[in-house]
């Protein structure tokens, strides 16, 4: 129909009404739509193992519950979490749930299926085991915005928990449901911007060994240029007053109390730094950046230099991030998809050779040191590293000396392939670390020693004895990012072993842009919600964990920066008692962490690991506190 150009307003309205009424009548005539969940984009489903499968069990086999086969549905693995945005347009959710017949260990295969609509429990299957017939779900979801489907582990861990959502459908009128990571949460920037006047941050002390090179960039926020000064500085150390970098040689054993000052037109700050020259280094948890979860086997000298530059330019170094660490894949491999990483593993003298992407290691560490930062490197005690590159097996002394000569200040010592050359008994868990720990102590520079053997042989009990400063307490967190609370709570169990120079390491802070661990993927925004990212950082700081950001520094967005760079939160991590917080249970899905601080105060974190907002009441007595207290919110300062 052609409408005349000068149609009057009321008529136009009337015509529109007629048209839209006609459209609505057509939709109603078509009736509600039934959408199979298996037809949605499943990428944002989180689960404990493997990936969600369309019309298949998690193993890839046809869906089958107690002998009954199903053509359609989703195969997941506990603990699985499926968030669906229903837009208030759905009417019913239907499915048959159960443990898949392919679950490997029948004794451990037990799952609870629950369904929540906007926080209200709509369905609870109770515990279902392998062989139990599927349970039918048919619930009213009218008006609901977000539906949550959970497959829990029934309290016995998630082994063999192959969770089927067979024939799962949503009946809806209007927009189709969508799988989302979680209901939208605002990415609120809690950390206030630093004031323009200088503020000196960082721990109150630094440990170093007499006669070794000394390097310390005074972590200071505020508008640059800032004029620095240092009083009672040992004669062997000099300050660059323009950038606040202290450099020189560690003086004879003793404690040197240095007064640091920082001034700009907006104001002045001062602080005492204790330089503790003696046997111990890493007197507070090491902090920095590690390449692994951003660049995997794509790491280059150029990316490392860029990381060092960004740590300074972004202000990360101003709040204490210090080490710039290369992980695996800097050496040559016998075989690799990238030809430039293939080549001779060692030279004629048996010295390890970097690959073509690392043309000059001393130049790289010099570049990092010139910015007042420190450099870290990685190897494995086996013949090859986890990535299949040249390892250190039978070249321990040469490699330790080489890393020191190149100018590295930190070594991460993995485990991969060592099992193939050693017997699997407790002594061997320890042996390669004892050997390397002693060798590192013989080098003419301070090298922080990071054990990466996933907690084998109760490493927390002996890590410090073999010269380690921190030790991973579990496998790679990159594979378990949906379980940060569980991983943190498991790490916190070893709290009694945390002390100055000795830290439990729950792995890197993986927020912002990171690459997927299973595929060594290119960086993309991590799946954690804003609140989960705050929790991540709070947990790590309360546990005195080594604080290494392992995300893409080329894409350091304001939210990630604000989570990483709150000096008052970092100060909890860097507190010189180095205590890992004790955990106080506060009922289902809620807990607190409480940590004593050197100034007599306590740091307290209150956590809700549930899926919905919760009201949490904490009384002082429960936290071991008494009397009136002054409380400060460290995130908002």
Catalytic residue ranges: 414, 476
- In the complex, least distance from residue 474 CB atom to ligand GAL, rounded to whole angstroms: 9
* E strand or H helix that includes residue 271: strand 267-277
How far apart are alpha carbons 228 and 447 in whole angstroms? Answer: 27
- In the complex, least distance from residue 535 CB atom to ligand GAL, rounded to whole angstroms: 21
Helix, strand or coil, per DSSP, at residue 138 = strand
Q: Which is nearer to ligand GAL, 292 or 323 (CB)?
A: 292
Cβ proximity of 511 and 531 under 8 Å = no
Token pair in block for residue 278: 């003696």
Q: Is 362 exposed, middle or buried (0-12, 13-18, 19+ CB in 10 A)?
A: exposed
Residue from 463, 437, 446 nearest 280 by CA: 446
Q: Which is nearer to ligand GAL, 378 or 559 (CB)?
A: 378
- In the complex, least distance from residue 293 CB atom to ligand GAL, rounded to whole angstroms: 8
How far apart are alpha carbons 213 and 227 in whole angstroms? Answer: 24
- In the complex, least distance from residue 451 CB atom to ligand GAL, rounded to whole angstroms: 11
Q: Which is nearer to ligand GAL, 47 or 384 (CB)?
A: 384
Residue nearest to ligand GAL (CB): 386
Cβ proximity of 231 and 259 under 8 Å = yes
Cβ proximity of 66 and 122 under 8 Å = no
Q: Which is nearer to ligand GAL, 385 or 562 (CB)?
A: 385
- CB neighbours of 442 closer than 8 A, spacing ≥ 6? 400
Token pair 């906007």 in the structure block, residue: 118
DSSP state of 465: T
Q: Which is nearer to ligand GAL, 292 or 513 (CB)?
A: 292
276 has which bridge partners?
Answer: 207, 255
- In the complex, least distance from residue 421 CB atom to ligand GAL, rounded to whole angstroms: 16
Q: Distances in Å between the alpha carbon of 267 and those of 130, 226, 481, 492?
A: 68, 10, 42, 40
Omega prior to 79 cis, within 30 of 0:
yes
- In the complex, least distance from residue 68 CB atom to ligand GAL, rounded to whole angstroms: 41
- Applying CB under 6 A, which residues contact ligand GAL? 292, 327-328, 385-387, 414, 416, 452, 476
Cβ proximity of 202 and 63 under 8 Å = no
Helix, strand or coil, per DSSP, at residue 440 = helix
Q: Is 54 exposed, middle or buried (0-12, 13-18, 19+ CB in 10 A)?
A: middle
- In the complex, least distance from residue 523 CB atom to ligand GAL, rounded to whole angstroms: 16
- CB count within 10 Å of CB 87 equals 15
CA dihedral 451, 457, 463, 469 (to 10 degrees): 30
Q: Which is nearer to ligand GAL, 117 or 391 (CB)?
A: 391
* E strand or H helix that includes residue 378: strand 374-379
- In the complex, least distance from residue 80 CB atom to ligand GAL, rounded to whole angstroms: 25
């Amino acid at each position: 129909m052609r409408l005349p150009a000068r149609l009057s307003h009321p008529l136009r309205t009337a015509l529109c009404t007629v048209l839209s009424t006609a459209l609505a009548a057509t939709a109603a005539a078509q009736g509600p739509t039934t959408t199979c969940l298996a037809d949605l984009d499943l990428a944002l489903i989180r689960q404990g193992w493997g990936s969600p499968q369309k019309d298949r069990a998690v193993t890839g086999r046809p869906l089958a519950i107690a002998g009954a086969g199903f053509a359609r549905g989703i195969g997941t693995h506990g603990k699985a979490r499926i968030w669906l945005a229903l837009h208030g347009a759905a009417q019913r959710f239907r499915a048959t749930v159960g443990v898949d017949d392919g679950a490997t260990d029948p004794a451990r295969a037990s799952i609870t299926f629950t369904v929540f609509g906007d926080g209200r429990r709509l369905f609870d299957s109770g515990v279902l085991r392998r062989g139990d017939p599927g349970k039918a779900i048919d619930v009213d979801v009218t008006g609901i915005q977000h539906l949550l489907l959970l497959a829990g582990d029934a309290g016995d861990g998630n082994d063999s928990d192959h969770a089927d959502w067979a024939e799962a459908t949503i009946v809806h009128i209007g927009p189709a449901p969508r799988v989302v990571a979680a209901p939208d949460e605002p990415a609120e920037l809690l950390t206030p911007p630093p004031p323009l006047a200088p503020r000196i941050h960082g721990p109150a002390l630094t440990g170093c060994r007499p006669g070794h090179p000394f390097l310390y960039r005074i972590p200071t926020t505020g508008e640059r240029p800032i004029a620095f000064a240092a009083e009672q500085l040992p004669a062997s150390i000099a300050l660059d007053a323009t950038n606040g970098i202290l450099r020189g040689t560690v003086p004879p054993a003793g404690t040197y109390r240095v007064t640091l000052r920082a001034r700009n037109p907006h104001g002045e700050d001062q602080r005492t730094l204790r330089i503790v020259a003696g046997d111990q280094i890493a007197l507070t948890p090491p902090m920095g950046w590690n390449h692994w979860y951003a660049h995997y086997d794509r790491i280059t000298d150029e990316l490392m230099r860029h990381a060092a530059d960004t740590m300074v330019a972004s202000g990360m170094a101003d709040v204490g991030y210090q080490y710039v660490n290369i992980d695996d894949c800097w050496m040559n491999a016998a075989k690799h998809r990238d030809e430039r990483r293939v080549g001779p593993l060692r030279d004629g003298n048996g010295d390890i050779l970097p690959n073509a992407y690392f043309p000059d290691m001393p130049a790289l560490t010099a570049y990092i040191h010139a910015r007042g930062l420190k450099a870290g490197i990685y190897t494995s005690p086996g013949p090859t590293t986890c990535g299949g590159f040249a390892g250190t097996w039978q070249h321990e002394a040469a490699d330790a000396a080489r890393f020191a000569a190149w100018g590295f200040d930190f070594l991460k010592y993995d485990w991969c392939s060592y099992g193939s050359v050693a017997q699997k008994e407790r002594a061997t868990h320890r042996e390669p670390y004892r050997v390397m720990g002693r060798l590192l102590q013989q080098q003419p520079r301070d090298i922080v020693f990071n054990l990466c053997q996933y907690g084998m042989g109760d490493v927390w009990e002996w890590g410090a004895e073999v010269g380690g400063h921190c030790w991973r307490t579990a496998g790679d967190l990159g594979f378990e990012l949906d379980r940060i609370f569980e991983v943190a709570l498991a790490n916190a169990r070893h709290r009694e072993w945390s002390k100055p120079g000795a830290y439990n390491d729950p792995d890197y802070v993986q927020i912002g842009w990171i690459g997927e661990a299973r595929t060594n993927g290119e960086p993309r925004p991590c799946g954690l919600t804003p609140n989960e990212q705050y929790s991540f950082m709070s947990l790590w700081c309360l546990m005195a964990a080594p604080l290494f950001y392992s995300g893409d520094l080329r894409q350091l967005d304001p939210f990630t920066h604000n989570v990483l760079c709150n000096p008052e939160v970092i100060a909890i991590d860097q507190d010189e008692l180095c205590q890992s917080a004790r955990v106080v249970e506060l009922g289902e899905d809620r807990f607190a962490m409480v940590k004593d601080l050197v100034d007599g105060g306590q740091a307290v974190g209150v956590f809700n690991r549930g899926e919905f907002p919760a009201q949490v009441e904490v009384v002082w007595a429960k936290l071991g506190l008494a009397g009136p207290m002054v409380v400060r919110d460290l995130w908002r300062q």
